[in-house]
Chains A and B, each alone.
Chain A
Amino acid sequence: MSAHVWSVGELVGAVNASLKAFGEVWVRGELSGVKVASSGHRYFQLKDAEGVLSCAMWASFADRLRFKLQDGLAVLARGKLEVYPQRGFLQLIISEVQPEGIGELQLAFEQLKAKLHAEGLFAPERKRRLPALPRRLGLVTSSSGAAVRDVLKVLSRWPHLQVLLYPVRVQGRGAEGEIARAVRYLGRSGLVDVVLVVRGGGSLEDLWSFNEEVVARAIAESPVPVISGVGHEVDFTIADFVADIRAATPTQAAELVVARLEEQARRVDQAADRAEHLFVHRLERARLRLRAAAGARGLARLPSRIQELSERLRRLEALPGRLRALVQLRHRRLDGALSRLYHWPVRFGAPRRREVVTVRLAVAAERLRALVQRRRLELAGSERALAALSPANVLQRGFSITTREGDPTPLRDVAQVRAGEHLLTRLASGELRSLVLTRQGVTQPSLFMNGDSAGGARGPDPEEGGRQA
């Protein structure tokens, strides 16, 4: 008659067995109290207005989630019900969670974006400008896609640019690791001034690698500026937000680099042209002032003024060398510069005055030209004089040069040589090698002091004489 008495374990086991009848269930609810245990397992509640359900998701499943489980997130969860025997409470052991009303990738994107934004990684003050002279470029992309072709095609417009391609996969599992590694390597290598991270268009899934945290961190930490160019204009990736410069496409990323170089070249040209123009203008004004002063009735009253202006003019006439330096720099000939002196005033002034100025300039230019010509002739004359003195020409005239063997210094004094030494004699047509038999000075005293056999001075040197014979 007595009712069946269960043991606790028995009863819990029986309940668990009956829960199996539910099989796998899908539950809609909101996440609450999400905790990550040190084991990596996630514990949380699913709740709605009417109820709460304890949940566990083992690390092996949870780690596959692309997004992060966060309190308040509306989800659909799949799992099996069980009573945890040691605690005696009901829980749902979850194998899958999907965000509700939003794609999993979209959610992951939003979550990472919010996280990095909170860390300040997108802050405008973190953004670095494109270098003034981006001459060496690191390129992170696939070596076979359209992106690399597009980029190189644009870059070929600037003929002084080096590209180092770090080929990576740009989609699929593991691609994010390759991209991050490439960005890190190039940034730290010291080999490049700027890094381009690019990929052609594709679906959200295709572009996903550029929404991974490792890529974002690598870009954020890069010591050199990073330009991103991923997908089409409408695609924004996390890489775009964190990059120093976001280009809409790979082509545009390359355009930015080339445009910078072209802009810099233009700035240099403009400044150089302007400096030249201003200076020539100044020079001509000084010349006109001098002419005006010289022609004025006040000539006699202004001698010092004339003096000063004449002095200036004289210095200006020393200018051709300087003008030439400028012109060489610009790969133009002197004549080009002079002809511009002729034509320069056409750009301004009243017609009548223009003619006068043009004529005066023509005269000035003629003088400069004559001066250059004179300098050239002077130089040619100096060259001829130098040529006459060159050893080769002297030899041609029948003189020779004698040196001691192994010593290139020409001999000038017999005292430099001893009998028995070898000498080299250079004639116009070649060299003679000879042995010194005796030496004889041309000093007058020896003639008188040794007035004996063979005229004295021809006698052998006393200290060498014995061996010489």
Chain B
Amino acid sequence: MSKETFEDALTQLEDVVTRLEDDSVGLEEALKLFERGVKLARRCRTQLTQVEARVEQLLAEAAEGEEPATRPFVAEEA
């Protein structure tokens, strides 16, 4: 679900840029677009950085929708 939101927000942000490139857009309109762009960029960045890095190894499967047993995983050195 969040994936769609990200894609959606990014597309909208790029639309904002396209519209800002149009010189016939009035100043007030440009301000609105710009503010919207700022919000969209923030939403995108939040999603890009929301997840904390983590590497885990599955210990046992769990039923669908449930968290399986895991432990942190560190690869052995070669």
Query: Do they bind each other?
Result: yes
CB pair B57 A167 closer than 8 Å: yes
B73 partner residues in chain A, CB cutoff 8 A: 143, 163, 165
Known interface pairs A149-B75, A167-B57, A278-B20. Does A272 touch B37 (Cβ–Cβ under 8 Å)? yes
CB nearest neighbor in B for A267: B10
- Whether A268 pairs with B45 at a CB distance below 8 angstroms is yes
On chain B, the residues within 8 Å of A268 by CB distance are 10, 13, 41, 44-45, 48
Could you tell me which B residues sit within 8 Å of A by CB distance? Answer: 2-4, 6-7, 10, 13-14, 16-17, 20-21, 27-28, 30-31, 33-35, 37-38, 41-42, 44-45, 47-58, 61-62, 64-65, 67-68, 70, 73, 75-78
Please give me the 4 A-B residue pairs with the lowest Cβ-Cβ distance, nearest first: A275-B37, A272-B41, A279-B34, A278-B20
Is A95's beta carbon under 8 Å from chain B?
Answer: no
A270 and B78 alpha carbons, distance in the complex (Å): 39
Across the two chains, which residue of chain B brings its CB closest to A139? Answer: B55
Residues of chain B within 8 A of A164, CB atoms compared: 56-58, 70
Bound together, the chains give a CA A190 to CA B2 distance in angstroms of 13
Contact assessment for B27 and A312 in the assembled complex, using a CB-CB cutoff below 8 Å: yes
A residues at B contact (CB < 8 Å) = 131-133, 135-136, 143-144, 146, 148-149, 152, 155-156, 158-167, 185, 188-191, 193, 261, 264-265, 267-268, 271-272, 274-276, 278-279, 282-283, 286, 312, 315-316, 322, 325-326, 329
CB distance from A45 to the nearest CB of B (A): 48
How far, in angstroms, from A268 to B47 measured CA to CA in the complex? 11
In angstroms, Cα B7 to Cα A267, docked, is 11
Contact among B3, B6, B21 for A278, CB-based, below 8 A: B21
Interface of B: prevailing SS: helix
Question: Given the complex, which residues of A lie within 8 Å of B48, measured CB to CB?
Answer: 133, 160, 261, 264-265, 268
- Cβ-closest chain A residue relative to B22: A278
Note all chain A residues with C-beta closer than 8 A to B14: 267, 271
List, sorted by A's number, 30 A–B pairs whose CB atoms are closer than 8 Å.
A132-B3, A133-B7, A133-B48, A143-B57, A158-B53, A160-B48, A160-B51, A161-B51, A162-B55, A163-B54, A163-B56, A165-B57, A165-B58, A189-B61, A189-B62, A190-B65, A264-B44, A265-B48, A267-B10, A271-B17, A271-B37, A275-B37, A275-B41, A279-B30, A279-B37, A283-B27, A315-B28, A316-B27, A329-B38, A329-B41
Q: What is the CA–CA distance of A282 and B70 in the complex, to the nearest angstrom?
A: 54
Measured in the bound complex, the distance between the Cα atoms of B51 and A163 in whole Å is 11
B2: A residues at CB distance < 8 A: 133
CB-CB nearest in chain A for B67: A191
Alpha-carbon distance A167/B68, docked complex (angstroms): 14
